[in-house]
Structure 1
Amino acid sequence: MANKESGYAKNAANLKDLVIRLKTLGDDYNPPKPKLSVEALEILSKNADDATRALSLVLPVYSKAVDEQELILRKICNKKIGVHNGAAAPTETYMFVFK
């Protein structure tokens, strides 16, 4: 796990912190919308934690599959050709030959 949270994980951690702070307010916290109630935010925080846990389980498998796919494509790519599409600089593309 990374030493510093970022992105979705940081938002989930901030939500958990918010719920803790709102609980300390007790009855003084009375939101105008039910979606902002402490109970609703706790459910949202739990769902965020569950999603983060699920992602941490599948991400290594996905990353390995992507790495293997890139290796396979490098092996079957046997010729690099230039393509001129009317642009000032030619773009590179690869021709794949399957044996």
Structure 2
Amino acid sequence: MAISSLETIYETLLAVPGMHDTVKIDLKIPRKTVLLFTEVLGAGIKHSKTPESGITKISKESEEELNTIISDSLDKAGLTELSHKLKNLTNTQ
């Protein structure tokens, strides 16, 4: 499927009525999974900004919401400081 067609499908799905409704998700997952989840989510946000991304560009509002989810997840798991230190390690290499 062409990237432009895929982008149109994503844009259409995101515009469907009810997609802005709030959903409560109660997860009980290990800290290691929280750390992996936040890293994968962050990498997805970065990847969506590249031209070869297979998905529609993430709106600024959606990016902020996803970054809030990342931050809240790390806070609740007590992994904020560890995540920052790991990022610093990867940025210095």
Q: Shorter-chain-normalised TM-score: which range?
A: 0.3 to 0.5
TM-score normalized by the length of structure 1: 0.34
Name the TM-score, length of structure 2 as normaliser. Answer: 0.36
Structure scoring higher RCO (CA < 8 A, sep ≥ 6) equals 2
Please tell me whether Structure 1 or Structure 2 has the larger radius of gyration of its CA atoms: 1
